[in-house]
């Protein structure tokens, strides 16, 4: 019997009525993952522990909607006693000593961790091909990329292995693979979710978020992971709220802005046409949709490179071959430990980014590049704030194209940055953004819409996204409903 | 404009980044790092009205937590995570007199 393709609400009812047990869900999840093995969505499976936990839950009361639900965790979020590799040779054998805050939170809901998902090495990339363990494949067409960096999480949700996954998003790493794989992915407002235990890439932009097959379930998972955390100074002091509360409401009189840049000639025609169709649906429902000019959006890639690479070079200095992780054998000197460990432990993309980051932050360059980037970043955020004086939400495509071939542009060091041009302004400005599927291209690869909200307005994003989801009513199971 | 960095320039940033590079890598990085740095360079041309800086999207005042003893990891657990260790010590090559 299959249960995991049902809605979470239905599964929850079955658990409550004792018609099924958590172990049924866990066994089904592992069976699905085994059947989809060639998608390479996972780096590590947590089989023994998950089965043990599921059995322990049999005597417990089903006290919340996420109780007993299987979940996959991106492999840069640390899990106590469970291998956490960041898809890097550097951490190939790294077993964390404690849980990330989000992991503590999902465990407190009695969710069951099924495994750790594949990703770009240290979340650096837009295709998941920089993984030390090989790239995950797109369930809609295995010759296509999954997107990245949270590629494995997007793939396992898209393939309907299980209902919930966590990803992380520094420049689009939740939303862009969500777009390529036809699922819902949310990057919450900076500070909404604790980053404690997320292996740092660019600390001023990193954020953990939920990846699911639909909007409602996405909001449910966000409900479970938010909140102030004393161990993350940048986590926000916010009242708890129910992110599902506006789902189902109509969008009449909602004011929506479409920046012209998001629909310019950098975007593929088929993608644009799907976005335009959706805009028509919104207008017909009484929403007010205006095209607007916004400055600085065209500087997103350059800006992202300075900030993300600068911060990355500093954050990844911790991988020194001394305290944990990989270390090159038989070093002749302390310098040898550092230099050779990092030469062999990191992959090419990571090394490129660290070196450019080190260059940007060295001596006079810090002023020329980094200080300037901080000023452009402030100006970009002001631009968003100006739009939100008149509009509820900003929309556009999530990605300029649909998922491309696994073999395309492998050696182009700029391609991975350009892939995220439409999504990284939200990271720079700290704003929440979500991908919702809105159609398919001629090869039946998914197209996604990006919805960006004002600070801490995730609930409003879910309102619009759920409306679109309901109106379009797309079949989002690769290969059709089973 | 050159389409590549000089070998010395690549070796300099590699030194800053504490990464050893082989001869074959060196050649690849001469081109690839140059491509990224040219892209990064465009930040200089962006015009902004004022030079107010935004370091992070977070503006809450710093709040100190209560100074109470919390849960701690045992030294044994932490030391065991180190690639080379002995007893309660992490092993490293001789540091004094060495440049790093």
Determine, for residues B35 and A333 on separate chains, whether the beta-carbon distance falls below 8 Å: no
Of the listed ranges A159-163, A166-170, A205-209, B36-40, the least confidently predicted one is B36-40
Instruction: Specify if B11 maps to a domain.
Output: yes
- Give the span between the Cα atoms of A481 and A140, in whole angstroms: 13
Instruction: Specify if B22 maps to a domain.
Output: yes
Could you tell me where the DSSP H helices lie in B1-100? Answer: 7-16, 23-41, 75-80
Determine, for residues B33 and A355 on separate chains, whether the beta-carbon distance falls below 8 Å: yes
Q: List all residues 6 or more positions away from A35 whose beta carbon is below 8 Å from its beta carbon.
A: none
What is the pLDDT, as a whole number, of residue B65?
78
Single out the catalytic residue among A131, A158, A173, A466: A173
Task: Tell me the CA distances in angstroms from A284 to A152, A275, A276, A280, A288, one per residue in order.
Answer: 37, 14, 12, 6, 9
pLDDT digit string, tens, across residues A58-77: 999 999 999 999 999 999 99
Could you tell me the residue range of the domain that residue B35 belongs to? Answer: 7-43
Best B19, B81, B96 member to test A by mutation, with max A CBs in 10 Å, is B19
What is the pLDDT, as a whole number, of residue A153?
98
Residue A436 has pLDDT above 50, yes or no: yes
Instruction: Specify if B87 maps to a domain.
Output: no
pLDDT digit string, tens, across residues A16-61: 999 999 999 999 999 999 999 999 999 999 999 999 999 999 999 9
Residue B100 has pLDDT above 70, yes or no: no
Cα A93 to the center of its chain, rounded Å: 24
- Asked if the C-beta of B37 comes within 8 angstroms of chain A's C-beta atoms, the answer is yes
Q: Which CATH superfamily is domain A1-482 in?
A: Amidase signature (AS) domain (3.90.1300.10)
- Asked if the C-beta of B94 comes within 8 angstroms of chain A's C-beta atoms, the answer is yes
Q: How many domains does chain B have?
A: 1
Domain regions of chain A by residue span: 1-482
Contact A199, A168 (CB under 8 A): no
Contact A259, A293 (CB under 8 A): yes
Known active-site residue A74: yes
The backbone torsions φ and ψ at residue A331, rounded to the nearest 5 degrees and listed phi first, read -70, 145
Q: Which among A233, A336, A342 has CB closest to B19?
A: A342
Q: Report the sign of the C-alpha dihedral through residues A244, A249, A250, A252, in that order.
A: negative
Residue A168 DSSP symbol: E
Paired with B89 in beta bridges are B86
Determine, for residues A376 and B46 on separate chains, whether the beta-carbon distance falls below 8 Å: yes
- Give the span between the Cα atoms of B19 and B10, in whole angstroms: 11
Determine, for residues A356 and B33 on separate chains, whether the beta-carbon distance falls below 8 Å: yes
pLDDT digit string, tens, across residues A260-296: 999 999 999 999 999 999 999 999 999 999 999 999 9
**What average pLDDT does the structure give for chain A?**
96
Q: How confident is the model over B62-78, as a mean pLDDT?
A: 86
Looking up tokens 């109106």, which residue turns up?
A: A471
Instruction: Specify if B15 maps to a domain.
Output: yes
Residues of chain B with C-beta less than 8 angstroms from the C-beta of A416: none
Q: DSSP for A7-63, please give it.
A: -HHHHHHHHHTTSS-HHHHHHHHHHHHHHTGGG--EEEE-HHHHHHHHHHHTTS---
Determine, for residues A414 and B36 on separate chains, whether the beta-carbon distance falls below 8 Å: yes
Contact A94, A84 (CB under 8 A): yes
Determine, for residues B82 and A323 on separate chains, whether the beta-carbon distance falls below 8 Å: yes
Known active-site residue A149: yes
* ipTM reported for the complex, 2 dp: 0.92
Residues of chain B with C-beta less than 8 angstroms from the C-beta of A305: 36, 39-40
Q: How confident is the model over B13-41, as a mean pLDDT?
A: 94
- Give the span between the Cα atoms of A55 and A57, in whole angstroms: 5
Single out the catalytic residue among A128, A131, A146, A149: A149
Q: Which among B22, B57, B84 has CB closest to A429?
A: B57
Is A79 exposed, middle or buried, given 0-12, 13-18 or 19+ CB atoms closer than 10 A? buried
Confidence of residue B98 (pLDDT cuts 50, 70, 90): low
Cα A150 to the center of its chain, rounded Å: 5
- Asked if the C-beta of B51 comes within 8 angstroms of chain A's C-beta atoms, the answer is yes
Best A89, A311, A356 member to test B by mutation, with max B CBs in 10 Å, is A356
- Asked if the C-beta of B95 comes within 8 angstroms of chain A's C-beta atoms, the answer is yes
Confidence of residue B60 (pLDDT cuts 50, 70, 90): low
What is the pLDDT, as a whole number, of residue A482?
47
Determine, for residues A339 and B54 on separate chains, whether the beta-carbon distance falls below 8 Å: no
pLDDT digit string, tens, across residues A72-125: 999 999 999 999 999 999 999 999 999 999 999 999 999 999 999 999 999 999
Instruction: Specify if B63 maps to a domain.
Output: no
User: What whole-number percentage of chain A has pLDDT above 70?
Assistant: 99
Contact A125, A409 (CB under 8 A): no
This prediction's pTM: 0.97
β-strands A288-292, A255-259: how paired? parallel
Top pLDDT among A182 and B70 is at A182
Contact A182, A158 (CB under 8 A): yes
Chain B: give the shortest CA distance to residue A324, in Å. 4
Is A39 exposed, middle or buried, given 0-12, 13-18 or 19+ CB atoms closer than 10 A? buried
């Amino acid at each position: 019997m299959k249960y995991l393709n049902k809605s979470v609400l239905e599964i929850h009812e079955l658990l409550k009525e004792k018609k099924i047990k958590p172990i049924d869900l866990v066994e089904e999840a592992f069976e699905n993952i085994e059947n989809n093995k060639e998608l390479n969505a996972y780096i590590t499976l947590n089989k023994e522990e998950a089965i043990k936990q599921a059995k322990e839950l049999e005597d417990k009361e089903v006290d919340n909607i996420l109780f007993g639900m299987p979940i996959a965790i991106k492999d840069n979020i640390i899990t106590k006693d469970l291998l956490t590799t960041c898809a890097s040779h550097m951490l190939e054998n790294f077993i964390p000593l404690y849980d990330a805050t989000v992991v503590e939170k999902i465990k407190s809901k009695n969710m069951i961790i099924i495994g750790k998902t594949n990703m770009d090495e240290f979340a650096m990339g837009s295709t998941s091909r920089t993984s030390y363990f090989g790239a995950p494949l797109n369930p809609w067409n295995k010759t296509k990329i999954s997107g990245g960096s949270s590629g494995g999480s997007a793939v396992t949700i898209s393939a309907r292995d299980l209902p919930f996954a966590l990803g992380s998003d520094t420049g689009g790493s939740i939303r862009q693979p969500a777009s390529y794989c036809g699922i819902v992915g949310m990057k919450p407002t900076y500070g909404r979710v604790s980053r404690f235990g997320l292996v740092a890439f660019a600390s001023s932009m990193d954020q953990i978020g939920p990846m699911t097959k639909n909007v409602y379930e996405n909001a449910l998972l966000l409900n479970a992971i938010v909140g102030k955390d004393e161990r993350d100074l940048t986590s926000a002091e916010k009242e708890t709220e129910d992110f599902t509360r506006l789902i189902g409401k109509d969008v009449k009189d909602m004011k929506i802005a479409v920046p012209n840049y998001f629909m310019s000639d950098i975007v593929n025609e088929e993608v644009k046409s799907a976005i335009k169709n959706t805009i028509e649906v919104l207008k017909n429902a009484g929403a007010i949709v205006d095209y607007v000019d916004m400055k600085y959006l065209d500087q997103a890639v350059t800006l992202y490179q300075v900030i993300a690479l600068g911060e990355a070079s500093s954050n990844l200095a911790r991988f020194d071959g001394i305290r944990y992780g990989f270390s090159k054998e038989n070093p002749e000197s302390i310098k040898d430990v550092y230099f050779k460990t990092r030469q062999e432990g990191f992959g090419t993309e990571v090394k490129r980014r660290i070196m450019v980051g080190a260059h940007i932050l060295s001596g006079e360059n810090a002023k020329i590049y980094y200080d300037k980037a901080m000023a452009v970043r402030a100006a970009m955020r002001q631009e968003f704030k100006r739009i939100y004086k008149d509009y509820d939400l900003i929309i556009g495509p999530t990605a300029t194209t649909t998922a491309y071939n696994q073999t395309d542009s492998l050696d182009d060091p700029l391609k991975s940055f350009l892939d995220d041009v439409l999504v990284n302004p939200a990271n720079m400005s700290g704003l929440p953004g979500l991908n919702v599927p809105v159609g398919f291209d001629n090869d039946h690869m998914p197209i996604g819409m990006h919805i960006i909200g004002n600070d801490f307005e995730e609930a409003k994003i879910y309102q619009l996204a759920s409306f679109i989801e309901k109106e379009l009513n797309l079949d989002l199971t690769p290969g059709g409903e089973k | 404009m050159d389409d590549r960095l000089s070998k010395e320039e690549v070796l300099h940033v590699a030194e800053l980044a504490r990464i050893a590079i082989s001869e074959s890598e060196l050649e690849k990085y001469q081109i690839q790092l140059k491509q990224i740095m040219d892209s990064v360079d465009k930040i200089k041309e962006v015009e902004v009205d004022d030079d107010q800086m935004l370091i992070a999207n977070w503006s809450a005042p710093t709040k100190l937590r209560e100074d109470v003893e919390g849960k701690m990891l045992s030294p044994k657990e932490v030391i065991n995570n180190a690639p080379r260790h002995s007893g309660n010590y992490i092993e490293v090559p001789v540091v004094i007199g060495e440049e790093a």
